[in-house]
């Protein structure tokens, strides 16, 4: 039964152009290698290695840098032990009005005191400024190194300058080591982010980031199996480019270099515009939509991949609108917007809002993966 399901899922008619089968790709000419799904078996062990490398990097490199910049971990105030409130907190971190009133009668506590307990308890679970600095420094280092590596190999490739080469003789295109290394590195990185989400302190954007990382992993994996590797490396390179400036802006923000932070965020906004709203749609998506149709012809998976790319481009437009609003504030008001994702809450929030909503006091985290596209994403 497993074999029949696998055969149905990996149907030649769906994934490959007309008159091409998986059997054709299993026997390349001597000296030629085609991408195979089995090549990615090493990704999960490597993802564990990347996660351990991240921990080592944060301890030996990022944390000393944080100390030099006087970014301390800080010790959050601890909430008074209370079994009833703790039990509710595990299922709902922000109780509604009815629950607050019920707790007030049950514990004989003032409603404001219960609100304060939940605020302090939430702050206990929030990552410190130093931890966020270390996380951003790791991502900045990864994005910078992978971007430089991909540019080094793409610079010498013909499809970097003429995207029609992505489709000549498709899917019988030889896999080069640089492409394989790039794919494995990106997949291992995103799998490691998946792991870390369940180990690290849970944040408000947990589900959004989980979906984002999972979607990214699926797209990268299927594009490799389908030998859309040439276009895939271009997509990953374009996305990494602007993320470098995003993480740099966050580092400056955590170090309290506000002007540098604002300037880097403006640079990020400009780079995001050119990479995601100019290069990506008019260079890469155009090639996958029109040049591939002309040279290789459409097939069923072709519609799937193009549909996903168009959805991604729609998200880029929405993200840029939100990013541009923040950048304009940085230019004209001299400070980037606040972050409601993971920073410390103020006690005045509960005093000023009868609906018990919360805000934050710290400057913007800038995480377009969480606030705008679900990390990153960040890809």
Query: What is the per-residue pLDDT across 122-145, written as a single tens digit (0 to 9) for each?
Result: 777 777 888 889 999 999 999 999
Distances (CA, A) of 302 to 226, 298, 308: 10, 6, 10
Confidence (pLDDT) at 198: 81
Rounded percentage of the chain residues whose pLDDT exceeds 90: 42
227, exposed or middle or buried, with CB in 10 Å at 0-12, 13-18, 19+? buried
Is the predicted pLDDT of residue 147 greater than 70, yes or no? yes
Q: Mind listing the pLDDT tens digit for each residue in 241-256?
A: 999 999 999 999 999 9
Distances (CA, A) of 166 to 172, 250, 284, 289: 11, 35, 10, 12
Classify domain 83-125 at the CATH superfamily level: Homeodomain-like (1.10.10.60)
Confidence (pLDDT) at 201: 62
Q: Mind listing the pLDDT tens digit for each residue in 287-306?
A: 999 999 999 888 888 998 89
Q: Mind listing the pLDDT tens digit for each residue in 303-318?
A: 988 988 888 898 889 8
Confidence (pLDDT) at 370: 37
Q: What share of the chain is helix, strand, coil (3-state, %, to 5)?
A: 70, 0, 30
Q: Mind listing the pLDDT tens digit for each residue in 176-222?
A: 989 999 999 999 999 998 888 887 766 666 777 787 788 889 889 98
Q: How far apart are CA 43 and CA 187, in angstroms?
A: 7
3-state secondary structure of 165: helix
Confidence (pLDDT) at 205: 66
Q: How far apart are CA 347 and CA 112, in angstroms?
A: 10
Q: Which residues pair with 338 in a beta bridge?
A: 363
Confidence (pLDDT) at 88: 83
Q: Closest by alpha carbon to 376, among 143, 201, 44, 45?
A: 143
Q: CA triplet 12, 15, 19: central angle to 5 degrees?
A: 50
Q: How far apart are CA 335 and CA 328, in angstroms?
A: 10
Is the predicted pLDDT of residue 163 greater than 90, yes or no? yes
Mean of pLDDT values over 53-77: 88
Q: Are 368 and 251 in contact (CB under 8 A)?
A: no
What single DSSP character describes residue 310? H
Confidence (pLDDT) at 322: 87
335 dihedral zone (left: phi>0; alpha: psi -120 to 50; beta): beta
Q: How far apart are CA 362 and CA 306, in angstroms?
A: 40
Q: How far apart are CA 260 and CA 253, in angstroms?
A: 8
Q: What are phi and psi of 132, to 5 degrees?
A: -65, -35
Domain map (residue ranges) of the chain: 32-68+128-346, 83-125
Banded model confidence at residue 369, pLDDT cuts 50, 70, 90: very low
Least confident of 7-11, 35-39, 96-100: 7-11
Q: Work out the mean pLDDT of the chain and round it to a whole number.
A: 83
């Amino acid at each position: 039964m497993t074999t029949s399901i696998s055969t149905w899922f990996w149907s030649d008619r769906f994934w490959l152009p007309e008159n091409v089968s998986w059997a054709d790709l299993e026997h390349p000419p001597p000296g030629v290698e085609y991408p195979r799904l089995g090549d990615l078996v090493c990704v999960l062990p490597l993802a564990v290695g990347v996660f351990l490398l991240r921990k080592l990097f944060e301890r030996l490199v990022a944390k000393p840098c944080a100390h030099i910049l006087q970014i301390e971990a800080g010790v959050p105030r601890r909430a008074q032990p209370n079994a009833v409130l703790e039990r509710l907190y595990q299922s709902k971190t922000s109780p509604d009005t009815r629950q607050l009133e019920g707790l007030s009668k049950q514990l004989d506590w003032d409603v404001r005191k219960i609100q304060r307990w939940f605020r302090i308890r939430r702050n206990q679970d929030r990552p410190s400024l130093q931890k966020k600095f270390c996380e951003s420094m790791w991502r900045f280092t990864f994005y910078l190194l992978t971007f430089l590596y991909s540019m080094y190999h793409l610079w010498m490739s013909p499809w970097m300058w003429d995207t029609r080469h992505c489709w000549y003789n498709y899917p019988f295109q030889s896999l080069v080591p640089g492409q394989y290394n790039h794919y494995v590195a990106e997949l291992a990185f995103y799998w490691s982010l998946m792991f870390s989400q369940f180990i690290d302190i849970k944040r408000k954007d947990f589900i959004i980031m989980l979906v984002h990382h999972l979607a990214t992993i699926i797209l990268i994996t299927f594009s490799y199996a389908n030998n859309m590797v040439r276009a895939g490396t271009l997509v990953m390179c374009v996305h990494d480019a602007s993320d470098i400036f995003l993480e740099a802006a966050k580092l400056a923000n955590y170090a309290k270099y506000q002007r540098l932070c604002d300037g880097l965020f403006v640079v990020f906004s400009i780079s995001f515009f050119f990479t995601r709203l100019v290069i990506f749609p008019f260079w890469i998506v155009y090639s996958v939509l029109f040049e591939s149709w002309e040279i290789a012809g459409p097939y069923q998976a072709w519609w799937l991949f193009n549909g996903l790319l168009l959805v991604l481009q729609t998200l880029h437009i929405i993200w840029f609108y939100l990013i541009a609003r923040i950048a304009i504030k940085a230019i004209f008001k001299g400070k980037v917007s606040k972050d409601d994702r993971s920073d410390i809450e103020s006690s005045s929030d509960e005093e000023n809002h009868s609906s018990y909503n919360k805000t934050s006091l710290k400057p913007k985290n800038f995480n377009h993966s969480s606030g705008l596209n679900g990390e990153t994403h960040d890809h």
